[in-house]
Structure 1
Amino acid sequence: MKKITKAVFPVGGMGTRFLPATKSIPKELLPIIDKPLIQYAVEEALEAGISTLIFITSATKHAISDHFDPMPDLRSRFIDEGKPHLAKKLDTLPLEIQRVFIPQGQPLGLGHAVLQAESLIEEGEMFAVLLADDFIEAKNNPLSRLIEAATSNQKPTISVEKVSDDRIGSYGVIGAGPWDLDVTQVSKIVEKPNAKDAPSNYGVIGRYVLPQSVFSVLRQTEMDHNREIQLTDALQHMMQVNGLQAVKLSGQRFDCGSQEGFVLANLHVAMQNSQLKQQIMAYLSK
């Protein structure tokens, strides 16, 4: 099997929960302290061996491309001014990494966004999908573990975590078979069920490793009642035909697509900085 070297980043969403900030700033560029969400996701992918980054974007999100530009003039200025620490902050992406930007056109769901990458994925090739909204802090790279499991069993593989009953209606939820350490074969997958109807309390989160064959399934997947093509529907079909497996997330995830998750992620990272922690504790003590 070919090595997994390509990752798709669906970044064409409108970020309505963060308006008016996202009127001009892509939500993926909202920072966790001083580093944007998309940067964290890209760094996770690079560490897992990804060398081609495929951004499924929209006409209003040129700033994401700008963020990953090397900006040599500004770098030279910082060096000349004796500010190498600032120059280093401009190194958002190694020069040898390939970037591809594909306009989604209309935001018609995650499945539709993934489908836009079809021309860049070869037959028999597997690829990763990362949602930058999911900010994950873990000792071991979450995507690396997903790639390892997918390569070992030659099946589409998704990342899941336990979610509370009050949040379960916001997730695709799996029916899980017996766990082999952190891997299970998925017996069912349901999009945003009621807690009482959910097949388990394991919700799908924004990390996937998929085969090239997912594109033919997505092309035949009908739009839902919101006129969106759901990746969950395609995964359910693939589960029935060739099987689907899930890997339990080992780490802490913050849903930065919500204001609550975004604030908590910033607080979590800030508390790991001794100076910021001291300032936060002093403020809270008042």
Structure 2
Amino acid sequence: MVQRVRTAVFPVAGLGTRFLPATKAMPKEMLTVVDKPVIQYAVDEAREAGIEHFVFVTGRNKGVIEDHFDRQFELEATLEARGKTEALEQLRRDLPKAGQSSFTRQQEPLGLGHAVWCARDIVGREPFALLLPDMIFKSSPGVLKQMMDAYEETGGNIIAVEECAPEDVSSYGVVARGEGPDSGFAITGMVEKPKPEDAPSNLIISGRYILQPEIFSLLGEQTVGTGGEIQITDAMHYLMDRQPFIGVKYDGQVFDCGSKIGFLTANVAFALDRPDIADAFLSELKTLTGDTPISIED
């Protein structure tokens, strides 16, 4: 029987420079897609997959994230007094239970691998999920739940992947595909941001991982890699010599909310998926576009 995954790590220390000036005083993870912060989508996905402990690796000026995942008694009292029961219930549903959230600081911007390493003492000697909040998904079940299903069958390390245009692989971590179905195939290699002619496939890593705790010791010993940062892909590459890695080509649509186009597209896609506002929003879009046909792309 494989060891259960109870903990998820969320790296939220980035500066969000691509969204300045909006992110000068507000963390990029608190920018909203429709009416919910980006970070909340990742937490909801983790909760659906059975995660019980949510670990946020933060940086300076990120205190509002901690406040978001805490109770606001004055707001709750006001909503209750005004009979806003639906909004009050939504706030309470979004909150992790007492003791389920932990926060630790990444004091230097040394990359994703370093951010994960900063969570080592909280995670301990257990497998854990890693979710990059910039990437939000429209999928049912959620992407992490799809990965959990594969993990229960195979154990090891699980990576969510998707296809991209071959000429775009130099922007991503890329895996080499071995035997197995889309729902769980062997990963035989991986490389960070290869040239198109050197890429082992067009399957790119999509910001969702299940990792074994041995990754921490590798990250602690690792020197800087691509971009002058400690890369999680490099540590996973070394761990592949000791443990299996499984790829899951997930069923769903991803939106990269770390880019302006991805963020705006996510707002349109999720708004059109909301029964309470979809018709009115689509009408406004048609007015703006002069009835030009609208397509939603990731």
Does structure 1 retain, via aligned residues, the 8 Å contact 2:59–2:107? yes
> Once the 2 structures are TM-superposed, how far is the Cα of residue 96 of structure 1 from its aligned partner?
4.2
2:282 aligned partner: 277
1:109 aligned partner: 111
1:219 aligned partner: 220
SS in 2 for 1:174: strand
In the alignment, residue 82 of structure 1 is paired with which amino acid?
G
RMSD between aligned residues: 1.5
- Distance in 2, matches of 1:235 and 1:148, equals 21
- Distance in 1, matches of 2:19 and 2:90, equals 26
- Distance in 2, matches of 1:185 and 1:178, equals 6
1:128 aligned partner: 129
In the alignment, residue 245 of structure 1 is paired with which amino acid?
I
In the alignment, residue 148 of structure 1 is paired with which amino acid?
D
SS in 1 for 2:227: coil
* 1:38-61 residue CA offsets vs partner (Å, 9 max, x unmatched): 000000001111111000000210
> Once the 2 structures are TM-superposed, how far is the Cα of residue 282 of structure 1 from its aligned partner?
2.2
* 1:123-174 residue CA offsets vs partner (Å, 9 max, x unmatched): 2x21100011001010212111212222322211111000113432111001
1:84 aligned partner: 85
> Once the 2 structures are TM-superposed, how far is the Cα of residue 191 of structure 1 from its aligned partner?
0.4
State the TM-score, normalized to the length of structure 2: 0.91
Does structure 2 retain, via aligned residues, the 8 Å contact 1:71–1:90? no
Does structure 1 retain, via aligned residues, the 8 Å contact 2:146–2:250? no
In the alignment, residue 111 of structure 2 is paired with which amino acid?
G
Q: Structure 2 vs 1, CA of residues 193 and 181 (structure 1 numbering), >3 Å: closer, same or farther? A: closer
Q: Percent identity?
A: 39
In the alignment, residue 205 of structure 1 is paired with which amino acid?
S
SS in 2 for 1:74: helix
> Once the 2 structures are TM-superposed, how far is the Cα of residue 95 of structure 1 from its aligned partner?
2.7
1:148 aligned partner: 149
In the alignment, residue 103 of structure 1 is paired with which amino acid?
R
2:65 aligned partner: 64
Give yes or no for the alignment of 1:252 onto 2:257: no
- Distance in 2, matches of 1:215 and 1:95, equals 27
- Distance in 2, matches of 1:155 and 1:143, equals 15
Does structure 2 retain, via aligned residues, the 8 Å contact 1:51–1:97? no
- Distance in 1, matches of 2:85 and 2:40, equals 20
> Once the 2 structures are TM-superposed, how far is the Cα of residue 79 of structure 1 from its aligned partner?
1.4
- Distance in 2, matches of 1:259 and 1:101, equals 27
> Once the 2 structures are TM-superposed, how far is the Cα of residue 179 of structure 1 from its aligned partner?
3.0
Where does structure 1 lack aligned partners over 5 or more consecutive residues? none
- Distance in 2, matches of 1:260 and 1:184, equals 31
* 1:216-275 residue CA offsets vs partner (Å, 9 max, x unmatched): 111122112533110000010111222211111110001111111111111111222222
1:168 aligned partner: 169
- Distance in 2, matches of 1:78 and 1:121, equals 36
More divergent stretch after superposition (75-84 vs 26-35): 75-84
1:119 aligned partner: 121
Report how many aligned residue pairs link the two structures: 285
1:266 aligned partner: 267
- Distance in 1, matches of 2:245 and 2:5, equals 18
- Distance in 2, matches of 1:95 and 1:147, equals 22
Does structure 2 retain, via aligned residues, the 8 Å contact 1:28–1:133? yes
**Runs of 4+ that moved beyond 6 A:** none
- Distance in 2, matches of 1:27 and 1:251, equals 23
1:35 aligned partner: 36
Where does structure 2 lack aligned partners over 5 or more consecutive residues? 292-298
Give yes or no for the alignment of 1:6 onto 2:7: yes
